[in-house]
Structure 1
C-alpha cells in the first residue's frame, strides 16, 4: 500500500513489487490514481494494481481529510484483494503513518503479517512544510511510534532511517533492513539528448523531481534570476523536469521574473523521454533546503544524477553529501545567490565537471546495484515468517 504516488510511477514500490513477483509471490498494490495512471484496476507484469481517487491536501488543515479518505479506500480495496486471494503480509509505504490501521484490521481478523516500508520521516516532513511543532506534529509522532510497534519488520531507505527505527521506533535491530532506492541501470543510462534543449549551445543545468513547498525549486528559480540578471549570463539555461503541488506557482514566478527564455518546465516525463531530457543536463541541481528532514533523506535525484554521470550542486545535506562524495559541489550558505555562484563555478570549469562526472559513474557502478537491494528486500520479506512471534 502506498498513498502519495501511483504505481508504477513510484519507482521504489514498483521495483519491490517486481522483485516479489520474480521470487514467486502473488503481489497486489493499492495506490492512488495520477501521473497518467487512471485505471481503477489493471494487471501489469503479473502484478495486480488497485487504484483509488485522491485529493491532495493544499494546507495543514487538509491533511486529515486527505488521509482519512485514502484510508477508507485502502480498507475497501484491501478487502477486494482478500476476496480474490488470501493475504499473508501487508507492506505499508509511508507517508502517512496511518496505514498500520489497515494492517491491524487484517491482523486481528486473519493473522496477517506487517512490513513497514519507511520512506519518509512524517514528523520532520510536517515541520519542514509548516514550520511548527503543534498538536498535529505530536499526533504524527504518535502514529509513527504505533506503526513501528505493530511492524513485524521494517525496511529503511538508508542507515540513518535504520537508526531511527531502532532508537525512536524501538525496533529489534535484526528486523530492520536497509533497502536503498537505486534506479534500474537498464533504464537509467545516457542516450542522445533531446535536440530542442541543446540547440543554441547553452550550458544546461537541470532539476528532476517533485515540485513541492519543501523541495526548494523556488530557490533554483531565484538563483537563475541572479545568474541571468545580476551576473548577465545568457549562456546558461535551466530545465526543470517533473511536477507537483507548486508546479503552476513556480511557472508563474519564472514568468514574473522574465525568465521564460532561461527556464524551461517540461512537466512530468517518464521512460525514454525523461532519459533524453536528463541526458541534456551538463550540471544537476539539488535545491532542497537543509533541515531536519532533508538532511536525513536519500534522494532519488542523487542516484539518478550519479548513474548518468552528471556532476551536481547541492546544499549541505548530510545524507546526500555522504552518498554523493566528490560527485557533488556542496553549497554551505543556504541562499539563491550562493547556489548561483556554485552553479557558475561548474559552468566555467569543464575539467572539474568531467572529473566529478567520472567519479559519479564510478561510485554508481560500484555501489548503486538494485540487484543487491532486491536481495535484502526479499530477506526482509522472509523475516516476516521466521523466528519471533507476531508483535502485538
Structure 2
C-alpha cells in the first residue's frame, strides 16, 4: 500500500509565490523529497486564485491597496491574517497537513502556527527579515517605540513557539539567540543561493548588447533601505570625471519615482535606465550584459545583518562587484567585490572609475566570485540543511514514496503572462 505523502502549509504575505525565489526553491526541494506543498499567498496579476506551480498548490487571495503609513500597515496585515486563516482552515479540512511553515514578514503568522500546534501540527518559522530593524530603518524618526516593541514581541514569540527556526545567515542566528532567547540547537541556517539557471552562459540582452559604454548594473528591490539613492548620487559624482558609462537598474519598489527624479536632477537621467521588473528568463541576459554590478545598500542595523541574493546572482555571472563594506556582504562576496567605506558615495564613485579602467582585475574578480558561488553558495548546498529541519521535526515522515509528478494533478493553464522575478534581498 502506498504511504500517504506528508504535507506542509507555507504562509507568505509580502509577495506572490511566483515572485518569491526563496519560497519557490524551498518548495521544489520539499517536493523532490516527497512532501506535498500548499502555499497561501497574495495573488499576482493575471493569476487565478488557485494555481499549480510545478506541483506546488498555491491558494492565492486578492491583494488590496490600503495606502501607506502605520494605519495602512495594520489594516494590510489584518486583512492578510484573515485571508490566511480562512484558507488554512479550508486546506486543513480538504487536504490536511502536518507542518505550518511561516515566512516572515510579518511575524504575526505565529498566531496561525500556535492555533495548529493545539492540534498536534509542527510550526517552522522561516526568518527572512528582521522586521523590527526594517521598521526602524524605513520610518526613521517617525518610527513609534510602541510599534517597534510590538514587532519585537511577535519576533520573540515566533522564535519561541516554533519547533524549528530557519535563519538565513549567522547574523540572524545571533539575533535569534540573543534577542529572542532561544537555544542554538533550535536554529538551522539555510542560506539564500543562486539556482543553476543563474550560472548559465547566455548572450547579453539586446538592450545592452551593442552599447559602447561600460555598463554599470543594479538588480534588486528599491525600497528606502536598499540604498539605490546612494548609487544614483555616486553616479552623479562619477559623471564629473567621465561620461563613458551607462547604468541599468532592474527591479521595482516604493522609491522608483523619487529615484528617477533624483537621476534627472543630477543630470544623469539620459545615462540611467530604470527597466522595472523583468521576467525570470530575462534576469540572466541583463546580468550578462553588465560590466560592473553594484550593492549600494548602506550600513544600518538592518542591512548589516542581511544576505543580499543579488550578490550571489552577480557572482554566478562572473561579475565584479562594488559594495559598501557590510559584514554579510563581505561574507558572501569574498574576493569578488571591492569594498567601500559604508555610505561614502564619493569613494563608491572612485571605485567604479578604477574598476572601469582595469579589465584584468574585473575578469579576475568575476572568476573568483563564480568559483566561490558554485563551490559554496549555490542553492544546492543549502538544500540538505532545509531537509534536515523537516526530518528533525517529523522523523520518518517520508519513506519510499512515489516520485513527485506521478500522481495526477490539476494544472492551471489559463494564466497567459509570465511570472515576474522577485528581485529579493
Residue 313 of structure 1: aligned partner: 322
Q: How does 1:41-56 map to 2 (within 5 A)?
A: 41-54=50-63, 55=65
Structure 1 residue 333, shift from structure 2 partner: 4.6
Higher relative contact order (CA 8 A, sep 6+): 2
2: distance between equivalents of 1:89 and 1:72?
19
Residue 292 of structure 2: aligned partner: 283
Q: Does 1:293 align with 2:302?
A: yes
Structure 1 residues 187 and 335: CA distance shift in structure 2, 3 A: closer
In structure 2, runs of 5+ residues without a counterpart are: 1-10, 397-425
Residue 100 of structure 1: aligned partner: 110
The secondary structure found in structure 1 opposite 2:202 is coil
RMSD: 1.7
Residue 219 of structure 2: aligned partner: 208
Give the alignment's TM-score, normalised by structure 1: 0.93
Whether contact under 8 Å (1:115, 1:153) holds in the other structure is yes
Pick aligned residue for 1:246 from 252, 255, 267? 255
Q: How does 1:114-125 map to 2 (within 5 A)?
A: 114-125=123-134
Residue 146 of structure 2: aligned partner: 135
Pick aligned residue for 2:386 from 361, 377, 380? 377
Structure 1 residue 77, shift from structure 2 partner: 1.4
Q: Deviations over 1:112-157 (max 9, x none)?
A: 1100001011111111111246111111111111111110001110
In structure 1, runs of 5+ residues without a counterpart are: 388-392
2: distance between equivalents of 1:181 and 1:272?
19
Structure 1 residue 303, shift from structure 2 partner: 0.7
Whether contact under 8 Å (1:115, 1:384) holds in the other structure is no
Structure 1 residue 336, shift from structure 2 partner: 2.5
Residue 40 of structure 2: aligned partner: 30
Residue 85 of structure 1: aligned partner: 95
Whether contact under 8 Å (1:42, 1:48) holds in the other structure is yes
Structure 1 residues 37 and 221: CA distance shift in structure 2, 3 A: farther
Pick aligned residue for 1:167 from 174, 178, 192? 178
Q: How does 1:143-162 map to 2 (within 5 A)?
A: 143-162=154-173
2: distance between equivalents of 1:57 and 1:326?
42
Q: Does 1:111 align with 2:120?
A: yes
State how many pairs are aligned.
383
Residue 179 of structure 1: aligned partner: 190
Pick aligned residue for 2:76 from 48, 66, 69? 66
Structure 1 residues 56 and 308: CA distance shift in structure 2, 3 A: farther
Whether contact under 8 Å (1:175, 1:380) holds in the other structure is no
1: distance between equivalents of 2:392 and 2:231?
43
Whether contact under 8 Å (1:279, 1:308) holds in the other structure is yes
Whether contact under 8 Å (2:37, 2:57) holds in the other structure is yes
Residue 350 of structure 1: aligned partner: 359
The secondary structure found in structure 2 opposite 1:31 is strand
Whether contact under 8 Å (1:192, 1:279) holds in the other structure is yes
2: distance between equivalents of 1:287 and 1:58?
25
Residue 15 of structure 1: aligned partner: 25
